[in-house]
Amino acid sequence: QAARRGAAMEPERECRVLSIQSHVVRGYVGNKAATFPLQVLGFEVDTVNSVQFSNHTGYAHWKGQVLNSDELHELYEGLKLNKVNRYDYVLTGYTRDTSFLAMVVDIVQELKQQNSNLVYVCDPVMGDKWNGEGSMYVPKDLLPVYRDKVVPVADIITPNQFEAELLTGRKIHTEKEALEVMDMLHAMGPETVVITSSDLQSSLGNDYLIALGSHRRTKADGTKVTQRIRMESPKVDAVFVGTGDLFAAMLLAWTHKHPNNLKVACEKTVSAMQHVLQRTIKCAKAQAGEGNKPNSAQLELRMVQSKKDIENPDIIVKATVL
């Protein structure tokens, strides 16, 4: 008993994440969507707020400040001067500025020199598809920076289908093509690629969304092993903001806890996601009242209320190994 208690008492080695994302005063996107789940799952999170806005830009109004690349560099210099710039993970999401993104790459490369085991988790946020038509919601000149500078230093990337197509210059119409695109993305650098949403047809019907994951690792003898999975999760009929940020943060946590089991890491990530979204839509509809469409404020993710689901998700979405 005592020995077992001793083992339980033994502190897990501190795992520290540098998260460079946007910050909102009200609501949950960017760092506000990533920090709480990571902390709940036992990570130390150091945040750099790439913007500080009153709320996300899906509201009628927003106000705030934007951090430029010099200011980012200055914050990083402060950490460096105090020799507290050792990280296990870097996490990044939505960025609108090419010089800011290039500065992030410089910082990641320097941190990887400090710690060769550092894992960079990048959500290459560039755009999405609406009714089958893809469009970019960041300036077009970010694409070459992501493709040529960011993705090659990233270890885990979480593009949606449209972003995966942009990065590789290849369209996806079938699952086979999706797997080929993921192989192309592996060849660019990342060991883990998760296409978080696609317009592939689910065998379960139109109310389901297909996500695909691929993990490629090199064994001790130099051979490469690839694990590929498919997940089909129920669509939730609402426009949420911050879901991609939450997804990337939880995927970071669960791949850390299950390093060579993408299936389990994704099942926990996607299941937790479903719990949060179901709770959010239920609360939003109750607030909006019968027959009314919930507004942006009512659709903010119910993060704190979902603490138990984030910490220990009941697996409601299973992954199929391909």
pLDDT tens digits for 71-101? 999 999 999 999 999 999 999 999 999 999 9
Contact at 8 Å (CB) between 239 and 213? no
Contact at 8 Å (CB) between 31 and 214? no
Measured between alpha carbons, how far is 162 from 133 in angstroms, rounded to an integer?
A: 9
- Which H or E element spans position 254? helix 243-257
Q: What is the pTM of this model?
A: 0.94
Q: What is the mean pLDDT of residues 207-220?
A: 94
Residues 6 or more apart whose Cβ sits within 8 Å of residue 64:
25, 51, 52, 53, 54
Contact at 8 Å (CB) between 134 and 172? no
Given this model, what pLDDT does residue 109 score? Answer: 98
207 tagged catalytic = no
Residue with tokens 């210059």: 169
Burial 299-318 (b: 16+ CB within 10 A, else e): bbbbbeebeebbeebeebbe
Per-position DSSP letters for 93-124, written without gaps between them: -----HHHHHHHHHHHHHHHHH-TT-EEEE--
Q: Which amino acid is at 288?
A: A
Q: What would the pLDDT profile of 141-172 be if each residue is shown by its tens digit?
A: 999 999 999 999 999 999 999 999 999 999 99
Burial 53-65 (b: 16+ CB within 10 A, else e): bebbbbbeeeeee
Q: What would the pLDDT profile of 279-294 be if each residue is shown by its tens digit?
A: 999 999 999 999 999 9
Residue 1 has pLDDT above 60, yes or no: no
Given this model, what pLDDT does residue 153 score? Answer: 98
Q: pLDDT band at 274, cuts 50/70/90? A: very high
Given this model, what pLDDT does residue 2 score? Answer: 52
Per-position DSSP letters for 267-321, written without gaps between them: HHHHHHHHHHHHHHHHHHHHHH-TTPPP-TTTTS--TGGGHHHHHS----SPEEE
Q: What would the pLDDT profile of 244-253 be if each residue is shown by its tens digit?
A: 999 999 999 9
Q: What would the pLDDT profile of 7-35 be if each residue is shown by its tens digit?
A: 555 556 899 999 999 999 999 999 999 99
Measured between alpha carbons, how far is 313 from 316 in angstroms, rounded to an integer?
A: 8
User: CATH for 16-286+298-321?
Assistant: 3.40.1190.20
Would you list the domain boundaries of the chain? Answer: 16-286+298-321
Contact at 8 Å (CB) between 159 and 147? no
Measured between alpha carbons, how far is 35 from 40 in angstroms, rounded to an integer?
A: 9
Q: pLDDT band at 130, cuts 50/70/90? A: confident
Q: Say which of 148, 245, 309, 314 is annotated catalytic.
A: 245
Token pair, residue 23, equals 């910050």
Q: DSSP 3-state helix, strand, coil percentages of the chain (rounded to 5)?
A: 40, 20, 40
